[in-house]
Amino acid sequence: MTLSSSVTRRHPLLAALSLALVAALSACGGSNSGPVASPEPSEQYVPPEPPSGYTPKAITYAQKDMVSAANPLAVQAGVDILAKGGSALDAAIAVQMVLNLVEPQSSGIGGGAFLLHFDKGANSLLAYDGRETAPAAATPNLFIGANGSPLGFLAAVDGGLSVGTPGLLRMLEAAHKAHGKLPWKDLFEPAIKLSEDGFAISPRMSVSIAGSAARIKAQGEPAASYFLNADGTAKAAGTLLKNPELAATFRAIAAGGADAFYKGDIARDIVAKVTKHPTNPGRLSEADLANYTHKVREPVCGTYRVQYRVCGMPAPSSGGIAVLQTLGLLQNFDVAALKPNTLDSVHLVSEAYRLAYADRALYVADPDFVSVPQAGLVNADYLKERAKLIRMDQTIGTPTAGTPPGVSAARGQDNSLNLPSTSHLSIVDRNGNVVSMTTTIENGFGSLQMVRGFLLNNQLTDFSFTATDAAGKPIANSVQPGKRPRSSMAPTVVFNASTGDVEAVIGSPGGSAIIQYTAKSLIGMIDWGLNVQQAINLPNFGAQTNATTSLEKGSLIDTAAIRDGLRARGHTVAQTDTFTSGLHGVVYNGLRANGQAGLLSRNPGAGTYAGGADPRREGIAKGND
């Protein structure tokens, strides 16, 4: 792999469906000398939101454009904006505002996002960083309790202490000025109308509320009465829910721009909610909001299997780096020959994940505060050397971080949990412009603090709770004033390496497992020749910084043969029904200028674009013909 820095709870399927899918899938530099001490074994991955079922979905085609996102109402808002001549960026804003209303547990204006934008006319890919920042008054011991020990996760989350300065709106406004076509105010109209008229609570939203009902009730108003019945139970799916306060907030932002959020009455209310929390006050100030700035960064990109240039989000996200590391490690193996859903493919890909996560835990943080050896981490020679640690007959077990080119100082082992409650949207417009955006408020329902109709993030708990590790070494992802916490979000755009044409747009929510979900889909499309929906459907599995390999419970790989085979190679095997990815992807499905078919679509359907949506969540893909 040639790389550069520039760059469910799943309900078991019917036997017939499983057999059909099996049949379909069967058809279809520097050395690692001086390794760094391995991270402490982490707990088994636990997602920020509960699973809500598995609904098989068919691949979708459209001629002019395509939106794939987490809720049909949000997708329709984006499709309508595109039909009016809006750009991909315009559609993304409309989709996000509706998601804030209909999927409030996952993302919204009280949080942040990472966005990749490809401008077809300028042939330019930019990475927009709208990640939250730590308040100016934050200190490295922000999450150290009175007894001198780190707080428990939920003790840190619930309340004002965990709230970082939201970045989403400031980032979207800047991107709109550069890439928007329709007026800013018009992009809020779908969300305003739905907020005022009401919408039916979706099954997933109701399940999410139920999973957090006790915590929501404990935090009180206004969230309690908005999400819960009088008896403290979750409002049921199908309940008509209106949010006039959010409509008023959207109207103010539509008329006054992002300044209406970052300055004035809304900002004062946000700060009051955070700092006046009765038991867990935070340190956010009006100055933090007024001074927030987004960043425009250079994407991290690499070439995989010669034909494809894969681009992702750079630090402070670990997502793009770790996805490229995974592919770079697998570049040294014939993954296509192993076939999907086999013991060998699960073993090999999990081993690549282990090595990528070991480096992620040690080196990746906000590059404005620490030196991140990003180019070294994705260096082809470094990854080729690291790949020699992978054996097909035995697991690595608990992985050891390598020493990539560019390492300048000893690093401590990070102990952050990184459980972002998140959503992803992929959009291509009729002019070939692209948005891949992953957006988050961190844990399910964020900090549970509701202001003017929207929830505030708990993003600061993505930092390490301690500034040094057990050996006294400084942790890269520790809390500092103005710093952005490390993320796993991995919005991705794939190009034809020869022509420069966009081949695929994809990404997922899912906390630290986002890296695995995104990489899985790319491997499915590139190595195994699957279309975008088939690749998204692939069973989820993976490993991080320990010897445990997790398998999606009830899936095609959750078999005695694979479990026993992994154990024979030294894996600790965990079956989990909580691998609730939310992959949303779009691929090019037509003929290129050179007469070549879009290489990733691999399907006979009619349409310029093909879209896929994760059956583990309730999103769809849709476009205009």
Q: Which residues are catalytically annotated? A: 422
Which conformational region is residue 329 in: left (phi greater than 0), alpha (psi within -120 to 50 degrees), or beta? alpha
CA 268 to chain centre: 30
Eight-class DSSP state of 547: S
- Distance between CA atoms of 89 and 211, rounded to whole angstroms? 33
Which DSSP helix (H) or strand (E) runs through 253? helix 244-256
- Distance between CA atoms of 356 and 404, rounded to whole angstroms? 12
Which DSSP helix (H) or strand (E) runs through 128? strand 124-130
Which two three-digit tokens encode residue 194?
């739905």
- Distance between CA atoms of 378 and 382, rounded to whole angstroms? 7
Q: Which of 149, 171, 190, 8 is nearest to 614 (CA)?
A: 8
CA 401 to chain centre: 23
Q: Provide, for the chain, the percentages of residues in helix, strand and coil under a 3-state DSSP scheme, each rounded to the nearest 5.
A: 35, 20, 50
Tokens 């991909």 correspond to 88
- Distance between CA atoms of 215 and 227, rounded to whole angstroms? 11
Pairing of strands 2-4, 572-576: unpaired
**Any idea of the CA torsion for 159, 162, 167, 168, to the nearest 10 degrees?**
-60
Q: Phi first, then psi: what are they for 548, rounded to 5°?
A: -85, 130
Q: Which of 319, 369, 318, 359 is nearest to 476 (CA)?
A: 369
74: β partners: none
- Distance between CA atoms of 583 and 506, rounded to whole angstroms? 7
Which conformational region is residue 251 in: left (phi greater than 0), alpha (psi within -120 to 50 degrees), or beta? alpha
- Distance between CA atoms of 397 and 489, rounded to whole angstroms? 25
- Going across the sheet that includes 572-576, the strands are 541-542, 548-552, 572-576
- Distance between CA atoms of 555 and 576, rounded to whole angstroms? 10
Which two three-digit tokens encode residue 416?
């952050």
What is the maximum span of the chain, computed from C-alpha positions, in angstroms?
68
| Cβ contacts of 398 within 8 Å, gap of 6 or more | 38, 39, 41, 545, 546, 547
Question: Under DSSP, is residue 85 helix (H, G, I), strand (E, B) or coil?
Answer: coil
Which two three-digit tokens encode residue 221?
């108003």
- What count of Cα atoms within 13 Å lies in the side-chain half-sphere of residue 512? 23
